[in-house]
Amino acid sequence: MAVVITLQGVVPADVAVGLSPLAELMACLHSIAEPEHHLDVRPWLERVSAALSEESKSLLTVHAPLWNRRRCRVLLPLALPLGRTLEQELARLEALPLDEFVTVVAPGVHGGVFDTRDLLIDESVQSAYVLSSERRSFSRGELARRLLQAPEQMRAGLLELLRRCAAEFFDAEWARVQHRLESECARVRARIQALPLPEALASLSPNAVVGQNPPAVVFDKLQSLRADLYGRRCLLVPSAHARPHLIVKDDPPYPVVVHFPVEWMDSTNPVERATLAQVRLRLAILSEPARLELCRHLVNEPITTSDLSVRTGMSLPQVSRHLGRLREAGLLTSRRDGRQIYHRLDTDCLMHLVVDVLTSIIR
């Protein structure tokens, strides 16, 4: 399964890069609703959850289907320009024609596959939509009823909740990440001008590849989607909170949106995330019983090759080969002290492997 964006006849001018605080707020709300998907920001999630009012927590639970599994398209940019303030984006949402609001929100409320084309005009489709949403979850069924029976009231409630979140935690968080995201926009724009377009888009994810005939970028995701950009616009929106999810939304007549994660690099504690190939390599290397036995010694203290040979009963060439494989996977650190070389397991890398495995599964 993969998401494929075809680029035949597409030029750099068709691709816009910019910020969307509303999209970033949705990414934050997703991580609050699905904390098990976001282990690397757990301290931030704990702080935000502790600071939220009880009323906001209750309202977030009610509206969670809008940002849980299938991100609601109305919370991503529907048109240019990018770079508006959150209040400007909320005002645009508030001014959206009510029929259009229902149409664009309905797939997100359902969260699965349902043909909503006749939802506004066919009562039988409306009944089937509510029933199908309810079968997915009680909360989705309730939201589906509200959307069809009182769309203006539902929109007003959603806007009130989003403004509550802005006041309680998001305004401060946006002030923290905005400059980082602006810098990423500048880098992506530069790549779009310097590289072939498929390569520039593939640079948004370590698990993307460039396709040929037609030119395309292929994102490895647990989703099947093929979006043709010819004659359309594509909006690239970076996110500090979307990780590990790269989201591609293709909902004509709106532009294709790629909401892509940006690694927050702390210069005092940089973390280099593993690619899917690296995760597979590390798991394969650790699965070998002899190497796993060596790891039990390497994790406790720096140790030489000869000491490992004595402790495990393996020959020196065997130990050297296994150490080479661990080093190849980035799991081993070595330092020279005089004539001796001491090896130790890179426990930070091993700890991040747990997160990297989860990221590979849920991306």
What are the pLDDT digits (tens) for 222-271?
788 999 999 999 999 999 999 888 999 999 999 999 999 997 544 334 44
Lowest mean pLDDT among 38-42, 57-61, 196-200, 301-305: 38-42
User: Hunting for tokens 């750099």 — which residue is that?
Assistant: 12
Residue boundaries of the structural domains of the chain: 12-190+230-261, 276-362
What is the DSSP secondary structure assignment for residue 207, as one 8-state letter?
T
**Mean pLDDT on 94-123:** 95
- The token pair that represents 115 in the structure block: 């043909």
324-359 burial string, b = 16+ CB within 10 Å, else e?
ebbeebbbbbeeeeeeeebbbbbeebeebbebbebb
Which is more confidently placed, 69 or 328? 328
- The reported pTM is 0.79
Query: Is residue 248 within 8 Å of residue 3, measured between CB atoms?
Result: yes
CA distance 84 to 174: 13
Residue with token string 């039988």: 124
Cβ distance 244 to 220 under 8 Å?
no
How far out from the chain centre does Cα 340 lie?
Answer: 44
- Fold (CATH) for 276-362: Arc Repressor Mutant, subunit A (1.10.10)
Q: Which of 57, 60, 4, 359 is nearest to 209 (CA)?
A: 4
Alpha-helix runs per DSSP H in 240-346: 276-286, 289-298, 305-312, 316-328
Would you give the DSSP letter of residue 243? T
